[in-house]
A and B are shown apart, each in its own frame.
Chain A
Amino acid sequence: MYQYTQVDQQIVNERVEEFRDQTRRYLAGELSADEFLALRLMNGLYIQRQAPMLRVAIPYGLTSAQQMRKLAHIARTYDQGYGHFTTRTNLQFNWPKLEEVPDILAELAEVQMHAIQTSGNCIRNTTTDHFAGVIEGEIEDPRPWCEIIRQWSTLHPEFAYLPRKFKIAVTGSQQDRAASQVHDIGLHLVKNAAGELGFEVLVGGGLGRTPVIGKVIREFLPALDLLSYLDAILRVYNLKGRRDNKYKARIKILVESLGIEAFRELVEAEWQFTRDTELKLTHAEVERVKAHFTPFAYAADAAEDTRLAQHLAEDEAFKIWYERNTRAHKVPGYRCVMVSLKPQLGAPGDITALQMEVVADLAEAYSFAEIRSTHDQNLLLADVRQADLYQVWQTLSEHNLARANINTLTDMIVCPGFDFCALANAKTLNIADAINAEFEDLDYLYDLGDIQLNMSGCINACGHHHVGHIGILGVDKKGEDWYQITLGGSAREDASLGKVLGRSVAADEVPRVLRVILNTYVELRQPEESFLECVRRVGLTPFKEKVYAADH
């Protein structure tokens, strides 16, 4: 993974001292609350319902074992012993003390981490496919490009006060596990007819109050032109994006109102000024960054192991976990191991300090000391020898990290909702608990196959409900929590927005309604047809009829 140079370290260190000074001035009353707000947001610090919340950047979801141990240490020392992984693959601490945040940032800097630009109206953490570099059929590993974007966007002097936050995702294969089509900019690594590397560039995707699928602004951007083109898009947006209404300030609204053609013309015109300047990447710089992401020294004889076959034959629970929570690796004899942060009891994406340490130890012993956090709020040990899987599973099981539910209904994406978030309309964690209680029978879940359930506590859509196969949105009706249900969304390469099923339902009705929806699917499905395919084929009407049958 990327290792800081002296320059990277200096930037992070200076930033810590700068924020220490800003915090001091704020606490001394020299800096207004409003002004400090913009500054603390740029350092990942929110004030939430209960306490401040600090969001630590995990660039493109990659952490070392050492960094994970540091996060565990911070959780224990400065927080209540746990953290929460977000869909931006970042980690949130829910209970830090404002005056201790500079110390936390200093601790992070010791392990090449920071919280820069994890909030505020600036360019946020760039995300990517969590299987980057380890799956078959990839055009190229997207992570070096993410790192290049990270460096370019970090403390960018011109793009720190954009109309609204700005999110970029990069994919390296035909498959999209980074929800790139619902990002402000989605970048897809592609090759042109001449075999040259470049990007297909999408712009103006997003969720929130006005969900939109991104549009292609450029079918092929030569790879070395990446930053000059991003610069052009950002400058047009910074100058022309709306600033009078925060719900209309994202780039998607600008693109929609101008139309993609007119927007493209503006960007291309701006780009002509910069494409052949120092913004053009050099081969040497790209190679320098790529050198940090070379494949590990995989054991040539890993596939000769026979223990895996034996354990699979002997231990049914292990076999189920293996089938559900591990994925193919491009190197024979290795597997990718999903670490489920979706236990039966507990908030999706939460992880205790001890669990962080357990995962760090496992990574060190079995997966080249690296851990990835995923868009769907799980962790991944990407490079585990098959011979070690049994041991890894046993340890994960002991620590409640091996629930064999990856990609099933209970592998939900859920935002923290009303329990933590000051913007929420409704609770989400109690609904997640109720769903876990209603659908604890794993055999039933396996029979249902892959289902992505996404839930948000308000229209800001941090839980990506629009693009869940099943989406749940908390709404406030006269002080009570109600839930609107959508069906048919997808964040993958076949991205689509879910459609509203009908009137919203009360909190205690959600599990029953889900049960009816799933039973309807089981009745209607054709052989091998997934939930999403079925919804797309039959439409919402049959589901609507069953769910609201009692109303008639």
Chain B
Amino acid sequence: MPLIINRQLQNVDPWTRLQSVEGESLSWPETKALISGTDWPTWAARCPAKLELGVSITADTTLEDLTPWLDRLSLIEICFEVFRDGRGFSLARLLRRAGYQGELRAAGDVGQDRLAYLERCGFNAFVLPEGRDPLQALAAFEQIQVHYQGAADDPRPIYRQEA
């Protein structure tokens, strides 16, 4: 699946995905571990300190769930199960407001027409569904160039920006 980080198409994803399964232990990779599954906090607690840690969550996860981990995490992936579910947009903003500076990835039902909005809400990485043209997707960031309202990218509304 095409991966875009900071508006650059990536050839490889350096993260190793670990799906936690109840009753089984995880085998940790060398460097970057991306944990998914609802019991991610259990596994996150066991993650060797030398590894970089990431979690993949849905918008059912709240800011409060994540707050204790923000300093430890270098990747948070929010998975959009259906594009109509807009909670992830607000969750991203809350995470950025809480000071999280690591990679914030949007995954799941991420159409190119939402990329610019997602980016404005604080996402800097995007996993596109299989089969999407990543070059067209990159162009989508540029389609609307000016914005009335502030957001995570720039908190100033247009009238507070210098001409």
- Chain A residues packing against B (C-beta within 8 Å): 7, 10-11, 14-15, 17-18, 21-22, 31, 35, 38-39, 121, 151-163, 227, 235, 238-239, 243, 273, 277-279, 282, 284-285, 288
Contacts and interface: CB of A to CB of B under 8 A. Distances in A.
Interface-central residue, B84, B144, B159, by most chain A CB under 10 Å: B159
Interface stretch (B9-17, B29-37, B40-48, B109-117): B109-117
Given A157-B117, A161-B83, A14 B160 contact: no
Contacts of A15: 144
A157 B62 CA distance: 20
A158 B152 CA distance: 10
A121 B84 contact: yes
Given A151-B149, A235-B90, A239-B90, 5 more contacts: A156-B149, A157-B117, A158-B90, A239-B62, A243-B87
B138 interface: no
Nearest to A122: B86
Contact of B148 (A152, A161, A162, A238): A152
Given A14-B143, A157-B117, A279 B87 contact: no
Contacts of B157: 152, 278-279, 285
A42 to B, nearest CB: 9
B155 A277 contact: yes
B2 to A, nearest CB: 15
B145 A14 contact: yes
Contact of A157 (B87, B111, B113, B116): B116
Contacts of B7: none
Interface size band for B? 20 to 34
B93 interface: yes
A216 to B, nearest CB: 25
Nearest to A163: B86
Contacts of B117: 157-158, 160
A18 B87 contact: no
B146 A10 contact: yes
Contacts of B108: none
Contacts of A10: 145-146
Nearest to A289: B159
Given A18-B143, A158-B89, A160-B117, A278 B84 contact: no
A235 B87 CA distance: 9
Nearest to A160: B117
B156 interface: yes
Contacts of B158: 7, 151
Q: Which 4 A-B pairs have the closest CB atoms?
A: A161-B86, A157-B120, A157-B117, A151-B148
Contacts of B159: 282, 284-285, 288
A515 to B, nearest CB: 46
Contacts of B121: 157-158
B72 interface: no
A346 to B, nearest CB: 38
Contact of B144 (A14, A151, A284): A14
Contacts of A235: 90, 93
A49 B118 CA distance: 34
B86 A160 contact: yes
B155 A18 contact: no
Interface string B84-97: 11110111010001
Contacts of A39: 113
Interface in B24-75: 62
Contacts of A279: 150, 155, 157
A38 B83 CA distance: 9
Contacts of B150: 278-279
B84 A239 contact: no
Contact of A158 (B83, B84, B151): B151
B83 A35 contact: yes
A157 B141 CA distance: 12
Contacts of B155: 277-279
B144 A238 contact: no
A238 B89 contact: yes
A155 B147 contact: yes
Contacts of B144: 11, 14-15, 18, 155
Contact of B113 (A35, A273, A278): A35
Given A22-B113, A38-B84, A160-B117, A152 B149 contact: yes
B29 to A, nearest CB: 33
Interface string B119-163: 011000000000000000000000111111111000111111000
Contact of A278 (B111, B114, B120, B156): B156
A38 B84 CA distance: 8
Nearest to B97: A273
Contact of A155 (B87, B97, B148): B148
A243 B148 contact: no
Contacts of A11: 144, 146-148
B97 A158 contact: no
Contact of A243 (B62, B84, B156): B84
A405 B158 CA distance: 45
A35 B158 CA distance: 30
Nearest to A240: B87
Given A157-B117, A158-B90, A278 B151 contact: no
Contact of A238 (B86, B113, B146): B86
A353 B115 CA distance: 39
Contacts of B85: 161, 243
Nearest to B80: A161
Contacts of A243: 84-85, 87
Contacts of A277: 155
Contacts of A227: 149
A146 B114 CA distance: 26
Nearest to A234: B90
